[in-house]
Amino acid sequence: MAKPKLVVVGNGMAGVRTLEELLKLAPDLYDITVFGAERYANYNRILLSPVLAGEQTLQDIMLNDVEWYAQHGIRLHLGKKVVKLDRAKRMVVAEDGTSASYDRLLLATGSNPVILPIPGNDLEGVVTYRDVDDTQAMIEAAAKYRHAVVIGGGLLGLEAANGLKLRGMDVTVVHLMEWLMEKQLDRTAAGLLQKSLEARGLKFRLKTQTREIVGGEDGRVKAVRFADGTELPAELVVMAVGIRPNTALAEAAGLHCHRGIVVNDTMQTFDPRIYAVGECVSHRGIAYGLVAPLFEQARVCANHLARMGIARYEGSVTSTKLKVTGIDVFSAGDFLGGEGTEEIVLSDPVGGVYKKLVIKDNVLVGSVLYGDTVDGAWYFQLLRDRQNIAEIRDHLMFGQTHLGNAGHLGQNKAAAMADDMEVCGCNGVCKGTIVKAIKEKGLFTLEDVRKHTKASSSCGSCTGLVEQILASTIGGAYAPASTAKPLCGCTDLTHEEVRKAIREEKLLSIPETMAFLNWRTPNGCATCRPALNYYLISTWPHEAQDDPQSRFINERAHANIQKDGTYSVVPRIYGGVTSPEQLRRIADVAEKYHIPTVKITGGQRIDLLGVKKEDLPKVWADLGMPSGYAYGKALRTVKTCVGSEWCRFGVQDSTRMGIELEKAFERMWAPHKVKMAVSGCPRNCAESTIKDVGVIGVDSGWEIYVAGNGGIKAEVAQFLVKVKTHEEVLEYCGAFLQLYREEARYLDRTVHWVSRVGLDYVKSRIVDDAPGRRALYERLLYALQGEKDPWQECVKGAAAQEFQPIRLAPQREPAEA
């Protein structure tokens, strides 16, 4: 007997997820045909942002390749857009004439990006951000052009802007509303997000309406004109102002559509043979644009296609996470609150943490988290289940692991979770499902869990939690997956393999390295060029060619670029100790060049903010002071307390020790910024225990701590060794820094490197191996011999072009906290 025919129009995430669920329930029920308008098989659309940013490739985000369809007997038509639906004949027809008849039809046509109805919207260089082709167009434009404007400050717009910035473009985000992501964040969280993105070099124009896109004689966009008459140069314009359900096929066939293809709770249209899922759907008057609701719809739809008929889709509570590397944002429910609601707020703008919980009638109804989102899944579970939180209200802000018997402070977060708690919001996977799969199927790796449960396979934000569940379930049998990955999309080689080749083959320049290692791209990208440049100069300090054009803009200008285009100059003040003569000189320079702001930094130095680019050489010349490297992947500062020279509690001369360390290592380039501190006693006034290298004076000498971090996610430094003399402090600290310089990946902070290799390994190289320690220290001193202070080159005007932004080099991070 012939199988009934199921035709799926749409090869995206919702449609194919429905097929996956159907194949689990009734693998042999249908003869299945799939039409996809794109030429690619099923990929993870929400991971296009990491592809644009150069963090992943198209192959990395494929969910089901062509072979998957063949293995399941599915007839696949790629690059064939269905343009006609004949309900009477029960047939669909594609643009090229390909047709297929159906007994059941699933419409998963997705959505279309909104195109602003303004002049110039069809110019070359004006793109939307919806699919692989859009992403590729932006990548190609970033390699050729300088200025980009992203219209839309929502989730997708910010991800596009971040990706283009990482590819070296000068990016301005234009947004009509008063703050960014107004549908997902409140004003405070949006302000913190904007500040963080500005620190990455993005620019913003809020409350701004775009009136026209201006083209050049060549037919390509050259500027964006606003309602107030002002213009911005633009060689690429990305419209990310929203999406609309793609209902054209359904409407033409006479299906009921209102803000989407209208479906009931079984995902049926009013034609009982036709189902619909995904962004094209309107369910109870709502069209969802997030992945999790679409996958819930897919499960319900599959249940009915499998003729079980017991599932109902009753709508979704949604949550949002921003996919910008290094920025943690989460929101869910009614986070704005209003009449009848209460708010619990934790706000630490300096630390970059903001949490707001909205409660109504002892039920959590909304939350927005910035900087610390670890409990987002728990809050979402409370919100979705409408649990009464009266008994835990006093502890609610501090997260699940602070709930005494419910969490046991300090206990592994995975062990504290109930089996019905959701782990993966994108795919709706709870802890119990993961644990069951691990036990029943004998899973041992993260990839196995992803394959069998889909957890962690979408946006990846739950990966750490899934690994914890895996580790706690199988105990000692768990072996974390290798963290090695290609340096960037230009090569398949890892950071370690590239460094090994540079060392063993004595490669001395970026072109030589790329040629030897068969780089895919002729000039590299914004990710690999700075990394290669660092690996070369750190491996062959007096022989390799330092390429200024592969450095960050701040390192080329020897100053920190600010959001208004001016620069920040921070001269070095050893150990925070200055003199009246230095202060007079700084004051004279500030007055002479009309520098608007003079600020004391957290690193015990003085920051001159608002220096014009053309004044930089003259400012440095008049200061006559060494650079504080506040802009560099280098030693920034050595913070000190006054120590035994002045303090009645001090047991060691921390000021002198700090100055010795700073003078010894002040011109040291590193994989990332390095901060040090020396405290004169265990009271630790210099905050040595949250620095990359911290030294604390004790009665019998000095204790050395490493791999601390005082940023958004503070990490306490770990004890390395106790020594007696200043000379030993210099040797142990220098050896640790050199080991970090030689083995860490570019842009690894010390905390990330030590976390990966383990403190025991560091101790074996620094503490246990005396000859090795001395050799490391000597290599560092050798590397620093003859290293010129960059301000001297700036004064000479030897590299005037270095002040111009270079497209391949990304912008810098903030200077110093």
In whole angstroms, how large is the CA radius of gyration of the chain? 29
Within 8 A by CB and 6+ apart from 654, the residues are 640, 641, 642, 643, 644, 678, 679, 680, 686, 695, 697
Centroid of chain to Cα 192: 15
Q: Which contacts (CB < 8 Å, 24+ apart) does range 38-41 have?
A: 38/11, 38/78, 38/79, 38/131, 38/132, 38/133, 39/78, 39/79, 40/78, 40/132, 41/11, 41/65, 41/66, 41/68, 41/69, 41/76, 41/78
- Supply the angle between the helices 446-453 and 463-474 in degrees, to the nearest 10: 110
Cβ–Cβ contacts within 10 Å for residue 418, how many?
A: 12
Nearest one of 197, 157, 161, 151 to 370, comparing CA atoms: 197
Q: Token pair for residue 256?
A: 């009921």
Q: Which runs of E-coded beta strand occur in 50-175?
A: 62-64, 75-78, 82-86, 91-94, 99-101, 104-107, 111-113, 126-128, 147-151, 170-174
Annotation: binding site for [4Fe-4S] cluster: 641, 647, 681, 685
Q: Is 185 helix (H, G, I), strand (E, B) or coil?
A: coil
Cβ–Cβ contacts within 10 Å for residue 273, how many?
A: 12
Annotation: binding site for siroheme: 685
Q: Token pair for residue 722?
A: 């106790």
CA distances in angstroms from 616 to 10, 572, 621, 792, 793, listed in the order given:
57, 16, 9, 11, 11
Residue with tokens 């039809």: 105
Which three-class secondary structure string do you get for 736-786? HHHHHHHHCCCCCCHHHHHHHHCHHHHHHHHCCCHHHHHHHHHHHHHHHCC
CA distances in angstroms from 147 to 63, 125, 159, 171, 232, listed in the order given:
33, 11, 17, 6, 9
Of the CA atoms within 13 Å of residue 185, those in its CB half-sphere come to 26
Alpha helices in 149-287 (DSSP H): 155-166, 187-199, 248-252
Beta bridge partners of 207: none
Nearest one of 227, 185, 223, 232 to 204, comparing CA atoms: 232
CA 236 – CA 170 distance, rounded (Å): 10
Contact 332, 349 (CB under 8 A): no
Of the CA atoms within 13 Å of residue 175, those in its CB half-sphere come to 24
CA distances in angstroms from 601 to 570, 608, 674, listed in the order given:
9, 10, 16
Nearest one of 260, 268, 267 to 289, comparing CA atoms: 260
Cβ–Cβ contacts within 10 Å for residue 493, how many?
A: 19
CA 279 – CA 260 distance, rounded (Å): 8
CA 249 – CA 655 distance, rounded (Å): 75
What sign results for the dihedral spanned by CA atoms 264, 268, 271, 275?
positive
Q: Token pair for residue 811?
A: 């912008």
CA 94 – CA 80 distance, rounded (Å): 6
Q: Which runs of E-coded beta strand occur in 167-285?
A: 170-174, 203-205, 210-215, 221-226, 231-233, 236-239, 243-245, 261-263, 274-276, 281-283
CA 131 – CA 13 distance, rounded (Å): 12
CA 285 – CA 93 distance, rounded (Å): 29
Annotation: binding site: 641, 647, 681, 685
